[in-house]
Each structure stands twice: as C-alpha cells, then as structure tokens.
Structure 1
Amino acid sequence: MPQRNQERLLPSVRQPSDLRRMTTPELTRLAGEIRTLLIEQVSRTGGHLGPSLGVVELTLGLHRVFDSPADRILWDTGHQAYVHKVLTGRWQDFGGLRTRDGLSGYPSQEESPHDFIENSHASTALSYAYGMSKADSLRGVTGRRVVAVVGDGSLTGGMAWEALNSIAGEGRPVVIVLNDNGRSYSPTIGGLARHLAGNEPDKFFATLGLQYFGPVDGHDLDAVQDALRSAAEIDGPVVVHVLTRKGYGYELAENDQVDRFHAIKPMNPETGVPVKAGGPSWTSVFADELVRLGGLREDIVAITAAMQDPTGLSRFAERYPARVVDVGIAEQHAVTAAAGMAMAGMRPVVAIYSTFLNRAIDQVLLDVALHSCPVIFVLDRAGVTGDDGPSHNGMWDMSLLNVVPKMRIAAPRDAATLRSALRGALDTVDGPSAIRFPKGEVGAEVPAAFGCAGIDVLRPDPVDDVLLVSVGAMAKLCMEVAELLHSDGVGVTVVDPRWIKPVNPLLPAMAHRFKVVATVEDNVRVGGFGAMLGQQLQDACVTTPVVNFGIPQQFLAQGKRAEVLAECGLTADVIATEIVGRLLDPASWPAVADVETSGLVG
C-alpha cells in the first residue's frame, strides 16, 4: 500500500502510455493505490470487487506492452475490467460506479475509446477478437494487435470453443490471455479445469494449434510483461496462461470460499458486512421452497450455468448435493440437458437469470417445448435490474417465451404466489413452465380480496370503468394507481392472473364490461403480456380498448430500479393520468409513435 509520505502516483495516470515511464517500484506502489481505490469505492457502491482485485498486475502489464486503443484489448464478461477503467483515465469517476449517469460496471463504448465491446455476457470475447482480426486482414490493416482477456470460467462456454476453432484453424494473430483463477462465480468445473490444473496445459492447447506461454504468476508484473511481450511477437494465435487469485491483496476476499466478494453490495470494507441487510429476497424465497419440495420429491434436480449461489441453489446443494448439476457457463447445454433429464423421468429446475436465458431460446423452443418436456425455468432478475446496466435487464423473457408453444409462464407478485407457482409448475407434466421474478427484496405480501377461476381479484370495485391487470411484481404499483383513480371518481378493479401464459379465458370474458382495460408489466411492450391480451380480446371480438404500460423497445441506461421504471413511465402518477385521459377524451390519447420512448402506448 502507498506510504503516507510519498506522493500518490494514481493522479499522474491519465492514459495507458503514462505507465511506460514508471519504474518497477513505482508500478508496485501504483498497484497498491489501485487496490485501495477499488476497496474503498466499490464497498460504497457495490460491484465486482474480487475479479478486479485479481487482475491489477495483469492489467498493468497489458497496458504497458500493448498500445490501447490502437491495439484492441477485449475483456470477456467485463467483471475484471475495473482496473482497465482506472488506467484509461476514469479513476476519479469510481465514486459514481453503477449509478445513474455514472461509471458503468462493465466496459462501455460511451465512456472511452479504450472500451470496444460492452460485454457482460461470458464466452463472447474470442468471437469478437476473431471477427476483428479477420476484418483487419480483409481490409489490409497491419500492425494492430487484438488481445482477448478470457477467464477460465468463460472457457466452459461453447461459444468460446467455436471461436477458438476459427482462430486456430485460420491462424489468426490473436493474443488470448487466459486469466486462470480457478473460478467463475464458483470453482470452475469440468474437464477443462482438470487440464488447466495439470502439469502439461501446453500440450492441451498445442493440440488445437495454439502456441502457449505459461503458466505465469499473474501477480508478478515482470513475469507477466515478459510473457506478453513474447506473445506480441508471434504472428499467429497464442495463449498466455496467467495464474491469478481472485480478491488478491484484500484478505477478506482472498479467503472467501463462497464468492461473496465476486459481486458485492455496499458493505463495511473492514468487516465485509453489508451496510443494509434488508428483508428476504425473491431468490431466497425460491431457494427455501425448492429445498422444502426437494424433501417431498426425489425427482427434482436443479441445474445451474455456473451460478449456483446467485440463483439460490446453494441451499439445495447443501441438502441434496447429488441432485445439483453445474454445467459451466453454457446455457444452451443446460437447457437441452434439462430436456434429456425430463425425458428420463426427472423434474429439472433450471435456475437462471432472465438475461442469460436469451442465449438459449432455440433450445427452449425446439429441444424442450417441441418434445413437451416438463422443464421448469426459474427466471431470476426478470424485468428491470437497474444498476447492472442495459445487458442485464431481464426485460425480454415474456416476449421471447410468448412465442413458444406449450410454454406456461407465471409472474408471482409476492412470496406466497412464488411458492404457489413453483408447486404448480411441478404439477405440470405436459410441457415446460417458466416463473419470473425481479431482483431484490420480495417485500410485503399483496393479498387477494378473492379468487375466481385462477385470477386473483386484488381490488374489486362496483363501478366498471377500468379493468387494471397487474403482471407479477407490478401489483403494488397497480394498487397505488387504483387509489389515485378512485380519488378521481374512477371505478377500478385490479386483478392478477398469476399465470400469464396462456391468457386466462376469464379475462376476455370480464373485459367487455369495462370502458378500458389497462395492463402493467416490467417487460418490453412489444410481444409482452399486454400485447398478447390485446390479441386475445381481438380474437374474442371484444372491442374494449386495451392500454399497455411497459418498457419501451430500447436499451435502458443504468440506475436504480425505481429510477429506470420512472423513466419508462411506470409510476402511479403517470399511469393514472394517462388512463384518465383515455376515459375522458379518447381522441387525445397519443399515438404509439409519440410515446414509444416513454413506455406508454396509444
């Protein structure tokens, strides 16, 4: 760590070229300053601390050997890119990390010319690298190096191997820096991990046609630079195998065995204890119910794509270790493997972030649904996740799954309906089911006044002005909208169908009694629940207009969930005002093109 009587070096680093004037002792001091900055700032804002601490010396070496942005340094996943941001002139911005209009938690093209790919989904950097190298060759560009920094966990993903096949097959001059810390979120699994941990990883890569340097101590800056300089001289594909320790230089993170410091919430840096514990999360409710059901049904098997703890499967793994399968960062494999397990008599539960299900829609459609496999998809972090940025919002799952035949989709509004949805999905034997819920605290339960044919009536009203259909976690917001409208003399009945696909046939039957039907969802409006309900009403010749409130068809900037929802027009005041306008003067309702950016609809 830097001494008090020494001038800080970090303020002198405005661009990577500044590093090349520094001596080895100065670089060692700078590494300490960077670690201090990351621990102090990320513990305030939350973010990916452990991965970044592990690559300080590696990143220093990369920016001393290669000339970014003339040379292209690509970061697979981006969890490990904080040090890269520090060294490319953004160290003073870390106080606003992951906040609205602040520094992104991932590489961002808007922030810096040194960030080439906004990459927060794993196993993709090698494909980008191949494409860039190929394009340079076709365009006659010479002298530019393409460097892909890839974690060992990312090499469990099939897309990485597809890219390696092209890179090696064509002899592309790509420098592949394998950052091997033995972990993704949790320990890296499978045959690859055994090969990398063995004594002859060079032979493993040689069989693919890749030159190999290493393994190199990733915390020895001189050794890292020597290996990178040697690799830079190779006119062909080369692997630099660097061994690092996640959380290096921060004792709490180094000794972390369950990866609590991979991605942290705001915490006390001295103790590692979160600043705000909060109430039960959606994930924990699912986790507890799955453990309970696992004791009742021996056919339940849980599947994760390298995210056992974040998706709530660790508790199930502790109780039933033989019934948890981690396939690595390989969502496509996870889904089709689940289909195979279902065909063989098991009831697989695929726990996955909504944003990562995007990667396996083909498998959901043609490997699971086509064969009527009763696979259960539990979609964590559905809807707006907020501070994780545009790539992590789970705002497309309903639109994607709505086109899948035989798929049933549940959107629970609270803990009780989440537990009920999981039980209902397990009772479904003729096709797949999906259960979606958001990130964060589950909050208080929203009781139903009564139920009718699978629909919960949350707020009945004798006056049939507005039928307000709530989707999942939007129930509390819908109740607030109803109260505002009620104060304006508008009769509002709020219902929650709980299972949103297929559309409950009672909804069209109810809709004809009302002047307006309004739906509220935290999914993109295009192809979402509101659009599907509108189609059902049209098919049933119900002429009641349907007003859909949801997320616009655009990528959303980072911010707290409430901030992002507000910018999409998903607040009680906005929704109530728009509904009143529709009731009083239908001709004044704005056209779709005028409100697409706000999330509202005509």
Structure 2
Amino acid sequence: MEIKPGKLLGQINHPDDLKKLSREQLHAVCDELRQFIIDVVSVHGGHFAASLGVVELSVALHYVYNTPYDQLVWDVGHQAYGHKILTGRRDQFVTNRKYKGLSGFPKRSESEFDTFGVGHSSTSISAALGMAMAAKYKGEDRKSVAIIGDGSMTAGMAFEAMNHAGVADSDMLIILNDNCMSIDPNVGALKEYLTDISTSPTYNKVRDEVWNLLGKLPVGKNLSRDLASKLEASVKGVVSKSSNLFEALKIRYFGPIDGHNITKLVDTLKDLREIPGPKLLHIITTKGKGYALAEKDQTKWHAPGLFDKVTGEIYKKKIDAPQPPKYQDVFGHTMIELAELNDKVMGVTPAMPSGSSLKFMMEKMPHRAFDVGICEQHAVTLSAGLATQGMRVFCNIYSSFMQRAYDQVVHDVAIQKLPVVLCLDRAGLVGEDGPTHHGCYDIPYFRCIPNLIVSAPMNEQELRNLMYTAQLEKTNYPFVIRYPRGEGVMPEWRTAFEEVEIGKGRKIKDGRDVAILSFGHPGNFATTAIRELRTEGIDPAHYDLRFVKPIDEDLLHEAFGKYHKIVTVEDGTIVGGFGSAVLEFMNKYGYKADVTILGIPDRLVEHGTPKELHRECNYDAQGIADAVRSLMKETVSTTVLLG
C-alpha cells in the first residue's frame, strides 16, 4: 500500500523548502504532516501519540531556525517523527523501526539534522547546553534548542542541567512541552507546579499585556536589557510564585502558550531567537492531538501497534488456543499475590507502571506500589530506604534504564546489603527500539558487584518462584531478577509458589558428547534446537543455570566432568557475561574443553524484531544448533570460540 503525502508536504525535502511557504500555508502543512504520521503508523506501526502532539512545534522550529546549523535536541525522541519527515526522510519513513530501516529515535549517523542520539529521557538540556557553550567558545552565531517534556523534566539530570545553564551565560532555548504525560500520566510535585503556572489567570492576563513590551526587546532599544529583565522578574514574582523556580535558576521564563497555535509559535520563536542567554518557553500541548482516540487514552495510544485509522480498531493476533502471557504481566499479577501473602511487600517503578505492569498493584494497593517519575536513581535509593525499615521492595526498572542507577545499586543497596529486589524488565534484545533500549549489559555490570544475587528465569513459573524466594525473610541479600520483553512459553502459568535454592540450577536433560548451558529465557531456544538436533542423531545435554551469581558450581563440575564440548547461551553481551563466568569456572578448576559462547556480540545491535535480531546474533534455535554441529566436527582443544 503506497502512502502519499499531501500536496505541500510532498514538496518539502529539506527545511529550506518549508521556509519558502507563507505563514498562512503552515496550517495546511501541519494538517498534512499529522495525517501522514497517522497513515504511516497505522499501517507500519511505531510510537504514535507523542509525535502528533508536537506537529505544530516541529513545523515552527524548522520554519524559524536555520537547521541543521542551528541545533535541535529532542528529548527521548518518541516525538521526533515530524522532525524526521521534514528533514529529508519522508519517503523512507515507512521503514521506521523496521530491520535495516530508519531508527525510531534521532540518530546522529542517520542525518545531520539529528544532532544528538536519544533514547533515555532527560538528556536534552545538558546536550544542548554543551552545544551552546561550544558555539560561544568558537564565536559562532549558532542557536541551540532543547525540546523536553514535562515527564522528562522530573529527572534529576534535567535540573542539574538547568542549574548550570543559568550561570553558563550561553545562548540556548529550552522548550518545555507540557502535556501532563510521559508514557503514563505524570506524577509528583512538578506536575502540580506546572499546572499552577498554566492555570493562573492573573499571571496569564499580565503575561499577555507585557509580552510585547518585554519579549520583543532586542538589545539596544530604548529600554535596557537590565531594566527589562528586572521588570519582567518583578511582574512574574508578583503575579505567580510558581514561575520563580525557573527564574531562581536564572533562566528567563516565557509562557505558557498554546503549542498547537502555529502562528503564535512562529512569532514567539522568532522573538526568542533574538533574545540572548538561557531561556525557557513553556508550551501546552495535547498528546495525540488530531486523533480523537489518542487524545482520550494517551497511554494506550503511545505505541498502539497496527490499527484501522478510521475505526480506531487496534489489530490483535488471531488466537486459536491459550497463549503465554507477557513476562511483565506475570510480574504484575504475581506482585499482588505476594503482597497478599506478605504485608511487607511493596513495589516501585520509575514512570513505567504500564510497561512493567506494576499498574495492577497500584490500582489494587495504591498505598503499597508507587510510580516515582522518571528518576531511576531515586527509585533505587527510595527502595533502599524502605528496605532499612523491613520492607520487601520490588524495584522494577527496564534493564537499559537501570544503567542510570548503577551507583545507587553499588552504594545504597549492595554495600549496605539491603534486600532490595531489582526486577529488570526488557533484559536482552528488545526489538524495534534498538540499541538505546536493548538490555545488553546488566549481567556483566551486576555480577561484578559483591553481595548481589543475579538470576534469570527460563519461563513464567521460574519467574514466579524467583520472586517468591526473593521476598522471604531469610533472603538477606539484594536480589536481581532479569527477564525479557514479550511473551513467555507457558499458557498455564499461574502455578503454586516454590522456593528456589539460591545459586542452584537444574539439569533439564542428559545427553552425549556436548552440553548446552543456558541462562534465562534463551533456554527455550536451546530446547527447540535440541529437538532438531536429535533428528540428526546428535543428543546434547541441557542445563538451566538460573543464577549467574552465585553460579552453580556443582552443576558445572558435572557438565565439565562429563562433556568436553560446551555451548553457553544468554541474552546479554558475551563480554563479561554468563559465558565469561563459565570460562572463569573452567580456568579456576583446570578443566579443558571446547567452549562456544553465544549471546549479544561486542558491537551495537541495531533495531528490528526480536526474532530478526536473535537470528542476526546467532543465539536463536538455529544459531544454537549450528554451534553444536560445528563443535561436533572439531577435535577437543582448549580453544575458546566467541561468537
């Protein structure tokens, strides 16, 4: 199905083409851009509501600023679809998030207009400030603009950047896109603070009256810059205490204005472009703007999958038999069961209640499950604080996002030996979100920390049992449980809880000549590979280790004592991961064997479906079977193969 852009949008291959249009034509461009995003995402998938909410802003920025010389930094990047379409990627946009296609996020290697690669939130102000400081140092009249949402603004890094921007005396603009949403509704005092600004009738009335006087004053007019700044600060201080946060950081505050009024946006950005120094423009937008269903249920329509754009029906897979649940839902429902058994169980997540499925517990037990906003560091240390008082806290953070809280895990959890349960959702290759979201590194960066237990379930039953074990009173160490994005393998998953002996794996089957050692969900790939290999007369043994720290040495002694050909499988990086732990054991006890390590290679893996990426990285069922066949053809040596 060919998707054609509208008449005006079809002529825009570069922002210079956009600048040739009259201001009156920009309304039609916005309508065509919004419709084009709806048309493409409904058929090809992707993030949806966020980009609809900033259509007017995307057009206005490229209309006013001299991009790519002037540099736009989009926070996170979910909202950058309009930006991509306007900057020469319109005809390739149907490949967005597809294997070998456009990235779903701004990516420096993809376009000169993508000034900074973003996947994690709250980095835009720091990056744009760095660009502004470099421009000042080099004597360039280059403008830097950070576009950040009110959800991303809750992260400490955003405040750190604003604190520096206020004294750096660099020419930059922060655009605060306030839609009261990230993926889920925003929480916390900042949300209330921004609501106070945007709804203060006195402030808005006076703002409108003084805007022309203060906002349009270039240096050198009758009223000096110093006097204008003092008057502006005095007015804001009188009419709205709320505005003082940004003013106290020495960042000039403008707004709030309607982020869907393209004419107002263009006029405002032109004015602000001429005002030097750090400044913040507060715009009010609606996530999902222009598509009624997305406006009504913004969480559902953040990334809905394929849908009928006319009826709004979201297409679901046809199900002929009971299907396995998503691991995240097993976690979410199991949390409620554990909380009903143990009144000390609590849940914490940094802004991902839907993605982690902690929302189930938040709805049923709101006093025991908390969304703390986009602040992974705070989430971990908050959990540690709760643990000091005897609580059994399950802190659920995506593997990729956990990297942001590494120091807190070391200092606030591990050194103090607090029994926080760190549940790492989206561990391994996550698919279409690509390298910013892949959970590649948690096995190496956690197994090197003393006092941590590091585990991974092979299926839903194992996840439940690991969670049950982690909250027992006798489990007095921090406990990491990693599991992948997507579905498990057990339609009948709600099994009775059983305690798992910490540091003990299980032998799934005996075999001849070769042993497969798996860690986590890829053990299911190994099971499929073994079925195929047995038809060829090859009969591997299979061990599910369950724990990489402490690792089951008894099971490894058995495997290395019986087999001289070993294949390890994990959905983490092969550098320093589970396979490395097996090699360390082999070296420690002087075993000699051919060992092939399968997992994520030592390079950045781009985006694609999980199935495509597992195939590319050779640790799907076919890759495991090929590795076993290769080993069976070789003689025993001490060679270690990494692949």
TM-score for both structures, normalised by structure 1: 0.93
Aligned pair partner of 1:561 in 585, 606, 610? 610
Determine the structure 2 residue equivalent to 1:546. Answer: 595
In structure 2, distance between residues paired with 1:203 and 1:162:
17
How far did residue 555 of structure 1 move?
0.8
Determine the structure 1 residue equivalent to 2:72. Answer: 73
Determine the structure 2 residue equivalent to 1:431. Answer: 477
1:371 matched to 2:416:
yes
Determine the structure 1 residue equivalent to 2:47. Answer: 48
**Do the aligned residues in 2 keep the contact of 1:247 with 1:254 (CA within 8 Å)?**
yes
* Paired AA for residue 19 in structure 1: L
In structure 1, distance between residues paired with 2:262 and 2:632:
68
How far did residue 321 of structure 1 move?
0.5
**Do the aligned residues in 1 keep the contact of 2:569 with 2:598 (CA within 8 Å)?**
yes
How far did residue 590 of structure 1 move?
8.3
In the TM superposition, what whole-angstrom CA distance separates every residue of 1:246-291 from its partner, at most 9, and x where no partner exists? 001110011116x111122222333444312474211111111111
Structure 1 residues 588 and 540 mapped into 2: Cα distance closer, same or farther (>3 Å)?
closer
Determine the structure 2 residue equivalent to 1:187. Answer: 185
Determine the structure 2 residue equivalent to 1:97. Answer: 96
Determine the structure 1 residue equivalent to 2:634. Answer: 585
Determine the structure 1 residue equivalent to 2:17. Answer: 18
In the TM superposition, what whole-angstrom CA distance separates every residue of 1:17-51 from its partner, at most 9, and x where no partner exists? 22222234421112111111111211223222111
**Do the aligned residues in 1 keep the contact of 2:564 with 2:592 (CA within 8 Å)?**
no
- Residue 390 of structure 2: SS of its match in structure 1? coil
**Do the aligned residues in 2 keep the contact of 1:217 with 1:244 (CA within 8 Å)?**
yes
* Paired AA for residue 144 in structure 1: R
Determine the structure 2 residue equivalent to 1:269. Answer: 309
How far did residue 132 of structure 1 move?
1.4
Aligned pair partner of 1:314 in 359, 374, 383? 359
- Residue 92 of structure 1: SS of its match in structure 2? coil
* Paired AA for residue 303 in structure 2: A
In the TM superposition, what whole-angstrom CA distance separates every residue of 1:291-315 from its partner, at most 9, and x where no partner exists? 1111112211111111111111111
**Do the aligned residues in 2 keep the contact of 1:454 with 1:497 (CA within 8 Å)?**
yes
Structure 1 residues 424 and 268 mapped into 2: Cα distance closer, same or farther (>3 Å)?
farther
Determine the structure 2 residue equivalent to 1:471. Answer: 519
State how many pairs are aligned: 583
- Residue 182 of structure 1: SS of its match in structure 2? coil
- Residue 630 of structure 2: SS of its match in structure 1? helix
In structure 1, distance between residues paired with 2:454 and 2:606:
27
Counterparts of 1:174-213 in structure 2 under 5 Å? 174-198=172-196, 199=200, 200=240, 201-213=242-254
**Do the aligned residues in 2 keep the contact of 1:414 with 1:445 (CA within 8 Å)?**
no
Q: Which moved further from structure 2: 225-234 or 263-272?
A: 263-272
In structure 2, distance between residues paired with 1:45 and 1:391:
21
1:440 matched to 2:486:
yes
**Do the aligned residues in 1 keep the contact of 2:505 with 2:546 (CA within 8 Å)?**
yes
Determine the structure 2 residue equivalent to 1:457. Answer: 507
Determine the structure 2 residue equivalent to 1:490. Answer: 538
- Residue 185 of structure 2: SS of its match in structure 1? coil
In structure 2, distance between residues paired with 1:538 and 1:527:
15
How far did residue 404 of structure 1 move?
1.4
In structure 2, distance between residues paired with 1:581 and 1:85:
44
How far did residue 110 of structure 1 move?
2.5
Percent identity for Structure 1 against Structure 2 = 36
How far did residue 507 of structure 1 move?
2.2
Aligned pair partner of 2:330 in 285, 294, 306? 285
How far did residue 591 of structure 1 move?
7.2
Structure 1 residues 348 and 273 mapped into 2: Cα distance closer, same or farther (>3 Å)?
farther
Determine the structure 1 residue equivalent to 2:143. Answer: 145
Counterparts of 1:3-14 in structure 2 under 5 Å? 8-14=7-13
In structure 2, distance between residues paired with 1:355 and 1:245:
28
In structure 2, distance between residues paired with 1:170 and 1:13:
37
Unaligned runs of 5+ in 2: 201-239, 494-499
**Do the aligned residues in 2 keep the contact of 1:70 with 1:144 (CA within 8 Å)?**
yes
Determine the structure 2 residue equivalent to 1:106. Answer: 105
How far did residue 108 of structure 1 move?
1.5
- Residue 418 of structure 2: SS of its match in structure 1? coil
* Paired AA for residue 17 in structure 1: D
How far did residue 227 of structure 1 move?
1.8
Determine the structure 2 residue equivalent to 1:303. Answer: 348
In the TM superposition, what whole-angstrom CA distance separates every residue of 1:115-174 from its partner, at most 9, and x where no partner exists? 011101001111111211222223x23210011001111111011111111111122211
In structure 2, distance between residues paired with 1:458 and 1:40:
48
Determine the structure 1 residue equivalent to 2:580. Answer: 531
* Paired AA for residue 512 in structure 1: G
How far did residue 7 of structure 1 move?
6.6
* Paired AA for residue 149 in structure 2: G
- Residue 281 of structure 2: SS of its match in structure 1? strand
Determine the structure 1 residue equivalent to 2:369. Answer: 324
Counterparts of 1:249-264 in structure 2 under 5 Å? 249-256=290-297, 259-264=299-304
In structure 2, distance between residues paired with 1:439 and 1:499:
19
Q: Which moved further from structure 2: 271-280 or 42-51?
A: 271-280
Structure 1 residues 307 and 71 mapped into 2: Cα distance closer, same or farther (>3 Å)?
same
Determine the structure 2 residue equivalent to 1:172. Answer: 170
- Residue 216 of structure 1: SS of its match in structure 2? strand
Determine the structure 2 residue equivalent to 1:232. Answer: 273
- Residue 543 of structure 2: SS of its match in structure 1? strand
Counterparts of 1:391-402 in structure 2 under 5 Å? 391-402=436-447
In structure 2, distance between residues paired with 1:39 and 1:299:
46
In structure 1, distance between residues paired with 2:523 and 2:181:
39
Structure 1 residues 229 and 534 mapped into 2: Cα distance closer, same or farther (>3 Å)?
same
Q: Which moved further from structure 2: 558-567 or 42-51?
A: 42-51
How far did residue 415 of structure 1 move?
1.4
Q: Of the two, which has the highest radius of gyration? A: 2
Q: Which moved further from structure 2: 28-37 or 352-361?
A: 28-37
- Residue 8 of structure 1: SS of its match in structure 2? coil
